[in-house]
Each structure stands twice: as C-alpha cells, then as structure tokens.
Structure 1
C-alpha cells in the first residue's frame, strides 16, 4: 500500500468533533459534507480524555464508530494526536508536566497547552497515547494521515518549569561544551556575570530591571525552545513513521520560537497552517498607513509556502470567531469565505479544511463559528461552501499540479527574528519594512515569495529570483555574505535596509565598519547613524526618472538613519538626506557588483520608497503587457508545464474593472474574456 497524500489533488475538508454531538447527528452530518464537496475530515486532536479516560485504560469505541461511518460515506480522515490537551487525571497525578510562568508560577489545568516539552514524564505519556492510537488505526481504511499535537507554541512560546531550566543547561552543555565557551559566547565578563558552575545557569529570570536578561542568553533561549519543541514533536513523529508508515504526517502552526523549516525537513511530509484572515481586523497597528487588512494575510501564506511549496490549510476561517472572553472577529461578508478559500489556494494550498463543521454549543469556543450554526439549518456559509465545492470539482485537476511563481522574494531568518524580539535597535524594523515591501508589490501586481535564509540555503535557491529584499539582517555571517555576493555577481539584485550585517551568530557586534559582513557587497560604509524618534527625516530620491517638474521625488526616512559613505567607484548615490545635520549626505546607494547590483537603504522602508526601488531596478508585473488591474485586486500566479494560472482576487466591497488584451478564459466560470470585464465584490477569477 503506497502512502496517500492529499496534496496530489485539490480537495476540501472540515474539522469535526463527534465527541461534542449526539451520535444520531453523525450520519446526516457526513451525508451533508459529501453533498458540499467535502472529502476529508480532521478529528481527535483534543480528545485525550476520550481515548484514555484513565491512565493505561484505552477506549476507542466512540471514534471507531465515527470513523467507520465516515468511511461508509467515502470520507477520508486526518487523526490528531491529542497531546495539546492532557486530561485532568494526568496533570493531577503528574504536576511536573505543567508549564510555569516567567515568575515561576505553575500554569494550572483548565485551558489547553498547559504542559512543558521538557518533562520526561509527559514525553513518556505522549509516546504511549501516540503508539496506542497508531497501532489501533494504522490499517483503518478511512485514515490517510496524522496531525501531530495542535499549534505548537500557540498560547505561549516560553517555558519556565524546573524541567525547562534543566533541559536548557543540558542543551547549552551540548552546544558549548565548556563554561569557558559559554561565558565567551554570552560575553559574561560584562557586569561580572561570569558563570563558574553549570547550576548557576538558568533560562531568563527576574532581574533588577524586570525581564531584562543578557541579550545573548535571550537569543539562545529562543534557539533552545525551537530545538526542544522539535525534539518533543519527534517523539510522536518517529512512532508514527514506525507504526503507520503508509500514513502521512503533518502539523499545523506558524507560531513563535520554532524553526518550522527544520521541523518539516526532519519530521513531516508537508506543513499545515491555520488561516484566519479576520485576525487582521483585531490584531493590527492602528497607526499603520494604507493597511491591507485580510489581503495582508497573503504574507503569512507566503511564509507557509517557504516551508512547503504546496501545503494544507488545516483550519480555514468559515465564520465569525471568538472565545468567550477574547477575539471578537466579525462575520465574513457575502463572498469573503470563498475569497479567503481561493486566497489560500492561490498561494499554494491543495487541501483546505474549514474550521469547523458546526459551532460548539459549550466550552471556550462557543463563539468560534463554523459552517453550520447551532441550529443546523441551511445558511449563507453553507451555500457558499457548496459553491466552492462544486467549483473545485471542476477546476481541481488543472490547479493541483501547479506551484506559486514569483521573481521577487522577501528574505527572513530565524536568528534575526529571535534576536530582534529583545533588541530594539533592529527588531521592530523587520515587520514594518517587509509589510511595506509587500504592499508595494501586491498593489502593483508583482507576486512575491518569502525565502528563509538558512545554513542549507544554496545559490540555486537564490537564483530562482531576480530580486531579494533582505531588509534588516543585523546578524549576518561571512558565509551568508559570500553566498549573497555570488548571487549578485551572477546577475541578481539584493536590497538591504539600515542595521545590516553588524552582528555575528552570537549576537556580538563585529569590530568592523558597518555594514560589517555586507560591506564588500554594498560598497559602502556607514559614516554615522541615529535613531529617529518622534519625527521623520525626509530623503530626496535622486532617481533617473524624476518627477514631472524635474525635482527629486521625496519620501520619508523612518525610524533610523544610516549616513552612508561610498567606498567603491561602482557605487551610485540614489538619494540624499534633506534635513538634520547630515542633510546632503548619501541615504540610498546602488552598487554594481559583477553582473548584478546591491542596494543599501539607510532607513526603515515605506511603501513609496519600496516602489521607487522596484521601478529603478526594472521590476514590474509579469502581466503588464496583457492585463490591466486596479490596486484592490491581488494577482497570484500558479503554474506548471502547461503554463500559468493567474488568480485575480478582489478584496474590495465594490466591483473591480479589469481590461484583458487578447483572449483569456476564466477557469472557474468557463467564460472567455477579451477587453473590459468586471470582478464582483469579493470575487475571484482564474485566467489561463
């Protein structure tokens, strides 16, 4: 029997909790799922107390019946290992499995994810339930795959139980070998922090200034949490590989302090994500200009795609969302659920699983609504799901084998993100700049990828792209710099922002002129620098294409200013500062390096500046010669050997007018388009 994977075809699924509903509802639920075009169901990820009501006493009757019934209706099952919700008997008998706060207060049973990964007892109990479930269901004809745990590092991504401090010490011993090496890496000679015994070493704890640990300890803490999480996941992953080799393995997430790329490489067949675009309505910066709202969710989908080129959406928002005490997301407007489904598919999802089939009538998530409301009657969301199911049945064979295509990548890496959580001299800049770049590209219909820079990244990985935007990589090794030099010398374009290249992997500052490891590639040094607090110092953009008046284009130089000094004769000054004591000094440079070019932008990007760099570098939309689109429409391209599929997603509440040169066909409707056309509010077209 060969391993089945849901990513070979385009499919719809739904999350279902049979333990929440009277058994007489199950068959009608499954029948209606099939009627909507749903073929995959996720179950079991929170049901430990059902599977093991007492330690060592296992019960599979309920799930045997529901899986047999699902199989009868032609549904395939994703089983979740239930380790995100240890039952009350477990935490009562083994309180050492519980997590603790930074202040050392034990996190009690009562919500979910209240355990720590370091507890040897918890790992033992997780191994037992995983093995027992795998043995029981390895040959069940409905089961196709497993989701390990649920949303690693959701709720909390920091762990301070006694077992975590002990595990951190062991991790440090393996990483550094000796206390002398640890002291050197953390610079503990500063403020007389030098350790003389391993028992003196802890995860961050309360200090005179609150939570203000040694910055190098803080960076290693994040690396430890990631490694420890992967180690915990591996306990289950290895068992599933051994016992159920014909099933695939995934997990869902994209939460903090976890190298999802490494975890996927080592343990999973593909990565999965939980997509809730309405989070953009409740978690956003009110000061952000021209924000993208749910369209901005495509950034996160790009990060998922950097892990798995094609992936699963394990939870796709299907209704308004909220717990009893928080997260009051509004209901999708007519067409938005369909739009978000195609947003996920456009960015690489081949399996989209709605959360959830029916809204729970009890518990913390009674306001986290699914396709069906409490009353189980037909509603607008059900009708929308039926439309989607019918469409995917028609277009699935054409879409499933395609992958996302982009010529520009926004570059990220875990070390800078983890270091930047504590370091205010570069950390806050990354999200701002990357978001502004994404705005500039998506509003100009330039598809973009996310690329994570890793020790395994090769020149072939980089050469897929004409341009790389690596906004504020404070930590940069000479090896990474050399790889980027090779990429640029072969014709690539790389764009850096302020605070580039001045730290090593320990978080120590190089004793070199800024931008440190990137100086040779950029052809400049930083003459001086300053934070910009409470004001904006404007730059004059001396582009070759000036404004109609011939005057330079003016944009803002936000948050931080690097004053640049050209060191190479191949450096062109693209912009100068226009105020403060450094008025007239270089602010933006372009360095010809081999066959390519390296840009250095001495501030935090805004959309206008990113757009000017794109224009000067000759980067434009791949459809400019045959398609006119308004800014409210996102363009995403998936392609294979048969050619590209252009997804057009209208995020506006008004119709979007487009103009097509030549003859194109909308894959969804089958209509042929030539000349002017309209995409309905929250509408979707796929042109081929």
Structure 2
C-alpha cells in the first residue's frame, strides 16, 4: 500500500513546477541556489518533456533528466516526477494522426497545443505505457523521488473525442455498463423519436445532430469520456506502483475551474494515492477568496478529509483570462495559507522560473522576469519562511461545521439542452449556497449524495436535479435521525438515466421534504417574485418559481405575486428528530441567508456574529495539536476570539483572549489545549 504523503518531507511542501528543459544548463545551478534561498523543498519535473526524453521513436535521452534529479537531490530538494503523457511529441502524431481528438462536429484537432489526445487511441495508450514504464524503471530508486505525477490536468482542454476509435470503445463500454442493447434502449428511452437500436454496432457517439440529441446518450457519453481518461490514469498508476512500490502516485485535479467540469472527482479521488489540486483565481469581480475557500473545501472532501496538496496556483497574475491583474501585496501568502487552513499540506506554484517563450510567458512565477529585485520574489521568500514555521500543522485535519451535497454527474445532466430555463445554473446555486455558509463563518465539507451525513448538524443541497432512490433514502434517514436539511429548487427530478421519476416531483425527495410539485414556472428575464414570511418579512426571488403542494410540510414563506401567488415558496417539514427545508425559487446570497439562519437554529448552530465579514477562522487538529487559522481578507485590522491560550506561529508571540489580525494578514495559533 503506497504512502499518501510525499516522501522525504518533514514539514509542509513548498515549491512548484520546474521546467529546466526551457533553459540552458548553465542556469540550473542558479535555480537550485535560489530555491534553497526561498525555502523550496519540492518541485514537479518532466510533465511536458516527452519530446526531450524521446526525440525520435525508440531513441531515449535520459541523461539530462539524470543530471537535473541529481542536482536537486544534492541541494535537498525533493521531486514530484511527471509522466509526460499529456504532450506526445510531434513525431508521434505524424505516425498516428488518428490519436488526435475529433470534435462533435467532425473536426480533427491539430498538433501544436497541449492535451490534444484521443484517450481511446490504442497507439497513444501503448506509447504512454512505454514511456511511463521506462521512467519507472529508471527512477524508482532515485533518492530525490518524493512522488509520481501522472499526466497533467486530465480533461483540459479536451475530454471527449468522437472518432471511430471512440465509437468502438463506447460500444464496449455500453456493453459492460448496461449488459445488452435492450438495456441501453430502456435506459435511453429510445422509443421516443424512433431512436431504437437493434445492435450495439448501430450506436455511434453523440455527434452533431440537426436538433437536440438524446439527453441520456449525452449523459452516458460524458461518463464514458471520464471513465476512459481514468482508465489511462490507472494503467500508468499501476505501472508506477509495480516498479516503485510504496511511492505515492497522483495527478493534479482542478476542482474549481469550469475547464475541468468534465471530470467526476468523486470517482477520481478513489484512484489517486494523494489528492492534489490546481487552483487559479477567477478575477471577474467576485470575491475571489470565497471561490478559493470553496475549491479547498471541495478538494479536501474529495480526499475524504485526508491530507491533500495544492500542487499549482499563481504567485500573481495568470495569462489566460481576458484581463489578468496582479495580486495585491500580501495576497499570495494569504491565498496560500488559506489553502493550508483548509487541509493542504503545503503550497506549490506554476511555475518556478517565468518562461520567456511560449503560450504562458506572461503567467507569473516564483522567480519572475524581474528577478530577485522584485516584490514577487520577496513575497515568495517570505512565504517559504512562513510555511517552514508551520511544519507541525502537517498531518492534522480541518474541522467542518456543515456539509453541502454535490454531484458532478447531476451537474452534467442539468446542463443538457431543453431544460425548463436556460438561465438555471447548478454551479451558480452551489456558489451562492457556499457563499452564504462562508459568510456565516461555517467551514464546509462536500459530500456525495449517497455518503454518510450523520456527522453534520446542517446539510444543504443546491439543485440536485439527478437524484437516485438511494439518495432519497439517505437524505430521509439523515433528517429522521436529527439532521437539518435545506434543499433548493429543481432537485430530485430525474434518475441516473435522466428519466423523470414516476409520480409528482421531486421524486425520491417527496417524503423527506413533505411536499409535491405540480409544475415548474420559470420566470422571464429580469422578472422577480416577492415572498412574504414570518411577521411580514419579505424576500425576493428570480429565475424560477413552482407550484408547491404541502404533504406534511408547513409553509414558512409564501409567494405574494407571480403565477404561484398565495402558494408556498419556502417550506419546513418536521420528520422524525430533524427538519427539512425546501426553497422553490432562486434567492440571492442575502435572501438565502435569511432561510439558512432559520435552518441553523434548527441545527443548533449558533451565529458567529463576533467575526467580521471576510475574516476566515478555520481550525485544524489531530495528534500534533490544535491550530486556529485567522485570515483577514479586508483592509481593516480585525480581532477574533480564541478558545484557549496559545502561541502564534508566524510571529512567535503568545496569544490569549482576542487575537489581533492585521489587515490582509494571516495568523496561526497553536492552541495550548
């Protein structure tokens, strides 16, 4: 059984992607000297180096990589060694053009970017296995090796291919998943529009069609594409386990970015030894630190609460958004330590030395174009020292207050065509629910719909459109045993095949919510509805409304206007020892907080009004002690209450009573008890 932590590290990891092949060898000595100055102890190497390692078919040049790893080892820097299978060489595609992916429209992509791979290609699979085995045989015993890094950001930028190899592979996958073509017909509802298949050979990938394609077929193809990428990861992982037993194997996830919405990370989290994540701020005017916290909480949850690692983020601006602002002074450290607070065992960046050429030359780095006489470099050195002072945090776990149910496959299904409203966005609901909990200073675990929820006093379920019977039973059991549940509109509508559950909506959630829904009534663009609640309190919803019929639930807020006027809008259902709330319209974060506040009273979660907005307080604990992280994202000094005396690790000062946290700063207290 492999270890799940990088080998050879005594404290938290610090470093980033190191691409020495971009630079003359004369630069390497300066690199390692500056790495030591900054406190770097782990770098990722070789991720995009296939063409350097195998410049011609069957001719290998490992000497340069030998020298890099030896040099890093001499300077006590550990290596996350990549298999370069995200970027096959030009000669490979010249010999195997069929390994380039094909779009739904039938366009075959060209070589010249990255990640342009048909994961069903036999030639690619064999070539990837060969280079992986050679690396494993050669470097399994190298003293610098801390862990293996397979591929890079699966699903970016292409996850699904629609070529003939994929068509044949898809048929085999369907035969395994469904057992017979009759079962496929039943699952896909092919009696509609005369789409029935007589044999697997008649089934093609869901290529471009003149109007809407079968939604169940599209959903299965998304599952197939995800499973195919995962098959290739598992093959490489198993080779590395075979030749380097005990060394952890990972691949970098991207839980926060829409570029990777094609990956079911619940499934992937079970396959890696160590969960790692790449996170980049989306600077679109929103509160970026909230998205950061959400990504960190989601990554920790994919890891089952176990240690995970932030494998990439940026020291300052990125290069792929329409506008790429620099990070403010102190923001890099604040972002990095916020990930650590929420469970990461360190902070790594893309990349070590900023590139002079190529598509990412304007992406910030630890060693920027401006060199060591720069603000970024000074902050990098300061962050290395800060992480070193937090070494004893390693191995502790983040404590959560509440849970959010999230399912990637339900998300995929909600984005299919011809839904009741094109404006509905499941990810937007998840973001808004999360922001509401964040502003109540609650640390959130994410959970699969069928996971054990008994540890959480409060569970929220934003837009779980696809919900199985097992999910309904799980949520009912949670509430009956004393839990408090909050469910948003458009939940419990279809089963795993995108078939509407029999009977009235919300299918398997009817019993736990104590209601049925006669009809959806989506709102027009800009249209709003008013809700009236306890003591005349008013809320405003938009985008969606429903005709709700209580079947045991009590009405808490009522629609005042719109087609659903005088009908229930927000309900509460007492069931067993717990309560289940239902919200049938879209509420913004402020209005949603009013409902969450009422549900929190049911859950006996006391409000944390003493904590200022945008000041995070997160706790980690375990055998190594208990730690309180206080992260001030505001421009004003703040104070937070401490539950016990302790030592502030970044300054070395004793702390008691109320902890002062300067504007934009982080404080970490190791509590005495």
**TM-score, reference length from structure 1:** 0.91
SS state of the match for residue 411, structure 2? helix
Instruction: Note if contact 1:429-1:604 (Cα within 8 Å) is conserved in structure 2.
Output: no
Between the aligned partners of 2:585 and 2:81, the Cα distance in structure 1 is: 48
Measured after TM superposition, the shift of residue 578 of structure 1 is: 0.6
Measured after TM superposition, the shift of residue 472 of structure 1 is: 1.6
Question: Counterpart of 1:432?
Answer: 428
Question: Counterpart of 1:275?
Answer: 279
Counterparts in 2 of 1:564 and 1:522: CA distance versus 1, 3 Å: same
SS state of the match for residue 560, structure 1? coil
Q: Does 1:391 align with 2:392?
A: no
Instruction: Note if contact 1:358-1:376 (Cα within 8 Å) is conserved in structure 2.
Output: no
Counterparts in 2 of 1:176 and 1:598: CA distance versus 1, 3 Å: same
Counterparts in 2 of 1:231 and 1:582: CA distance versus 1, 3 Å: same
Measured after TM superposition, the shift of residue 660 of structure 1 is: 3.4
Q: After the TM superposition, which residues 111-510 of structure 1 pair with which residues of structure 2 at under 5 Å, given as runs?
A: 111-209=113-211, 212-254=212-254, 255-266=260-271, 268-277=272-281, 280-282=282-284, 291-308=286-303, 309=305, 310-322=307-319, 328-397=323-392, 399-423=393-417, 424-425=419-420, 428-454=424-450, 457=451, 461-510=452-501
Question: Counterpart of 1:555?
Answer: 539
Between the aligned partners of 2:74 and 2:168, the Cα distance in structure 1 is: 50
Question: Counterpart of 1:99?
Answer: 101
Between the aligned partners of 2:76 and 2:4, the Cα distance in structure 1 is: 15
Instruction: Note if contact 2:190-2:196 (Cα within 8 Å) is conserved in structure 1.
Output: yes
Q: Does 1:657 align with 2:661?
A: no
Instruction: Note if contact 2:261-2:408 (Cα within 8 Å) is conserved in structure 1.
Output: no
After superposition, what is the alpha-carbon deviation per residue over 1:52-84, rounded to whole angstroms, capped at 9, x for unaligned? 111111111101011111111011111110011
Measured after TM superposition, the shift of residue 115 of structure 1 is: 1.3
After superposition, what is the alpha-carbon deviation per residue over 1:338-365, rounded to whole angstroms, capped at 9, x for unaligned? 0111111111110321221111111111
Measured after TM superposition, the shift of residue 608 of structure 1 is: 2.4
Count the aligned residue pairs. Answer: 657
Question: Counterpart of 1:72?
Answer: 74
Instruction: Note if contact 1:99-1:114 (Cα within 8 Å) is conserved in structure 2.
Output: yes
Counterparts in 2 of 1:610 and 1:640: CA distance versus 1, 3 Å: farther
Counterparts in 2 of 1:56 and 1:419: CA distance versus 1, 3 Å: same
Between the aligned partners of 1:463 and 1:641, the Cα distance in structure 2 is: 24
Q: Which moved more, 1:304-313 or 1:54-63?
A: 304-313
SS state of the match for residue 618, structure 1? helix
Counterparts in 2 of 1:327 and 1:124: CA distance versus 1, 3 Å: farther
Structure 1, unaligned stretches of length 5 or more? 285-290, 544-550
Counterparts in 2 of 1:651 and 1:622: CA distance versus 1, 3 Å: farther
Measured after TM superposition, the shift of residue 101 of structure 1 is: 1.4
**TM-score, reference length from structure 2:** 0.93
Instruction: Note if contact 1:411-1:470 (Cα within 8 Å) is conserved in structure 2.
Output: yes
Instruction: Note if contact 1:348-1:404 (Cα within 8 Å) is conserved in structure 2.
Output: yes
Question: Counterpart of 1:669?
Answer: 651
Between the aligned partners of 2:89 and 2:60, the Cα distance in structure 1 is: 13
Q: Does 1:512 align with 2:516?
A: no
Q: Which moved more, 1:127-136 or 1:516-525?
A: 516-525
Q: After the TM superposition, which residues 518-667 of structure 1 pair with which residues of structure 2 at under 5 Å, given as runs?
A: 518-543=509-534, 551-568=535-552, 571-618=553-600, 628-640=610-622, 644-652=626-634, 654-660=635-641, 664-665=645-646, 666-667=648-649
Counterparts in 2 of 1:3 and 1:520: CA distance versus 1, 3 Å: closer
Instruction: Note if contact 2:3-2:273 (Cα within 8 Å) is conserved in structure 1.
Output: no
What RMSD over aligned residues (CA atoms) do the two structures have, in Å?
A: 2.3
Instruction: Note if contact 1:537-1:577 (Cα within 8 Å) is conserved in structure 2.
Output: no
After superposition, what is the alpha-carbon deviation per residue over 1:306-337, rounded to whole angstroms, capped at 9, x for unaligned? 111321111121122215xx654211111011
Between the aligned partners of 1:604 and 1:439, the Cα distance in structure 2 is: 14
SS state of the match for residue 281, structure 1? coil
Measured after TM superposition, the shift of residue 8 of structure 1 is: 7.1
SS state of the match for residue 12, structure 1? strand
SS state of the match for residue 431, structure 2? helix
Measured after TM superposition, the shift of residue 375 of structure 1 is: 5.0
Between the aligned partners of 1:379 and 1:514, the Cα distance in structure 2 is: 59
Between the aligned partners of 2:551 and 2:269, the Cα distance in structure 1 is: 42
Between the aligned partners of 2:574 and 2:130, the Cα distance in structure 1 is: 59
SS state of the match for residue 587, structure 2? coil
SS state of the match for residue 38, structure 1? coil
SS state of the match for residue 112, structure 2? coil
Question: Counterpart of 2:257?
Answer: none
Between the aligned partners of 2:465 and 2:605, the Cα distance in structure 1 is: 32
Between the aligned partners of 2:657 and 2:141, the Cα distance in structure 1 is: 55
After superposition, what is the alpha-carbon deviation per residue over 1:597-648, rounded to whole angstroms, capped at 9, x for unaligned? 11111112321233122221235997967x8321121222222256642322
Instruction: Note if contact 1:403-1:638 (Cα within 8 Å) is conserved in structure 2.
Output: yes
Instruction: Note if contact 2:529-2:559 (Cα within 8 Å) is conserved in structure 1.
Output: yes
Between the aligned partners of 1:247 and 1:662, the Cα distance in structure 2 is: 39
Between the aligned partners of 2:292 and 2:223, the Cα distance in structure 1 is: 26
Structure 2, unaligned stretches of length 5 or more? 255-259
After superposition, what is the alpha-carbon deviation per residue over 1:423-474, rounded to whole angstroms, capped at 9, x for unaligned? 53378342222212222121221221222225xx3xxx31121111112222
Counterparts in 2 of 1:239 and 1:493: CA distance versus 1, 3 Å: same
Counterparts in 2 of 1:429 and 1:128: CA distance versus 1, 3 Å: same
Question: Counterpart of 1:288?
Answer: none
Instruction: Note if contact 1:158-1:225 (Cα within 8 Å) is conserved in structure 2.
Output: yes
SS state of the match for residue 294, structure 1? helix
Instruction: Note if contact 2:129-2:236 (Cα within 8 Å) is conserved in structure 1.
Output: yes
Counterparts in 2 of 1:661 and 1:87: CA distance versus 1, 3 Å: closer
